[in-house]
Amino acid sequence: MLDLTFDDTPTAATASAAVPVSLPRKYLFHALGNDDYELAIDNSNLELFTQCDTAAYYRLILGRSTGMTAATVYGQAIHSALDVFYADKALDLPPDISRMLPPALAELAKAPSDMLGWRNEAQLTETLVRYIKKYSSELWSILDVESRPAVELPFRFDFGHIDINANVACSGHNLVDNDLPDTPLYVRKLRIVYTGRIDLIVEQAGKLWVVDHKTSSVGGPSYYEGFRTSSQFRGYCYIAGQLLGREVSGAFANVILARQPTKTGRDIEYERQPFVYDESLLAEWRHNTFTNISTFVARIISGDFPQRTTHCTNKFGTCPYLSVCALPPHLRPHLLYSGNYTEHTWNPLA
């Protein structure tokens, strides 16, 4: 059921240097032969289609995305540096900013500097230097999984398969990573796989914890409240428990609050909060997730992806497809396939 994907992906310390400049289009289905397909779902896909079917249709089926933002590039840069910090820690090497910076700067270099604004090299360096100072003697000890430190740990969890035995309304051309015609796709069985990468698995005072690095400009109680029912956190705890064969107590949100520098000096802050999930919550995650994926598969079969407007705007801003959804349906393809949207591509670090 559970498979560690120890592929040729570079270790955390060198991953960023290997990112190709041009990434291929990401498709939902992978052909297994005999009209069988695999549907690999990661946490961001899961969140997308549980929030809005239309958004999932635009991004995951039609492959139209909104590309990078300054916040996501900066967050990925910090994440890359923390991967080095913890990969070195697992080897008992002291923190070394000169090793952490290169992969982080490689991430920053993916965006035009005028887009990044205050999220520049100097601010990034200051953030990492302060992180080292704050956490170089932290009490976490990093677990090994199959003789490999649990840092940026890739996984695949096999949920089993769904018998379809029918044409699905969405075309093979949109769904499959082969060059198939733009006609409904016949699917016999659909294998469902949950994939992702766990940032860290650690032990503290005899208890096991998943750690997830977060970079946010918004903190406060409501930010942390959301982690109590987080599908990502519960899912990663379930997976970590399966990998280790031991009970996992919960997950730490390892948060870096990164804001535009101000005179008050509160532009960079570090916060950690643990969230405990008992066995019944993790079992519920498994049930919920398979049910949600099955519902999405039913959408793919029917070709009906209704708008769910609750998430058109939220505290972080507006849905990137708001301008599309605001148009009459017959005009939407013009905007969706304009330069405002880019191809949805693989992110080898996701």
Residue ranges that bind ligand SF4, judged by CB under 6 A: 52, 54-55, 307-309, 311-312, 319, 321-322, 325
CB of 302 to ligand SF4, least distance (A): 17
Residue 340 CB, shortest distance to ligand SF4, in Å, is: 14
Q: How far is the CB of 309 from ligand SF4 (least distance, A)?
A: 5
Of 136 and 314, nearer to ligand SF4 (C-beta) is 314
Q: What is the DSSP letter of 60?
A: I
Q: How far is the CB of 308 from ligand SF4 (least distance, A)?
A: 6
Q: Taking the complex as a whole, how short is the minimal distance between the CB of residue 344 and ligand SF4, in angstroms?
A: 14
* Cβ atoms of 231 and 47 closer than 8 Å: yes
Tell me if 116 sits within 8 A of 179, measured CB to CB. no
CB closer to ligand SF4, 54 vs 249: 54
Of 322 and 350, nearer to ligand SF4 (C-beta) is: 322
Nearer to ligand SF4, 54 or 80 (CB): 54
Q: Which is nearer to ligand SF4, 52 or 210 (CB)?
A: 52
Alpha helices in 143-278 (DSSP H): 172-175, 221-225, 231-244
Phi, psi of 66 (to 5 degrees): -110, 5
Work out how close the CB of 67 gets to ligand SF4 at its nearest, in angstroms, rounded to a whole number. Answer: 16
Helix spans in the chain (H): 43-51, 53-56, 70-90, 97-108, 113-116, 121-135, 172-175, 221-225, 231-244, 279-302, 322-325, 332-336
* Residues 6 or more apart in contact with residue 240 via CB below 8 angstroms: 150, 198, 201, 208, 210, 248
* Nearer to ligand SF4 among residue 31 and residue 325 (C-beta): 325
Task: Name which of 47 and 121 has its Cβ closer to ligand SF4.
Answer: 47
CA 285/CA 347 separation, integer angstroms: 25
Residue pair 17/258 in contact by the 8 Å Cβ criterion = no
Work out how close the CB of 304 gets to ligand SF4 at its nearest, in angstroms, rounded to a whole number. 14
- Decide: 199 and 152 in contact? Cβ < 8 Å: yes
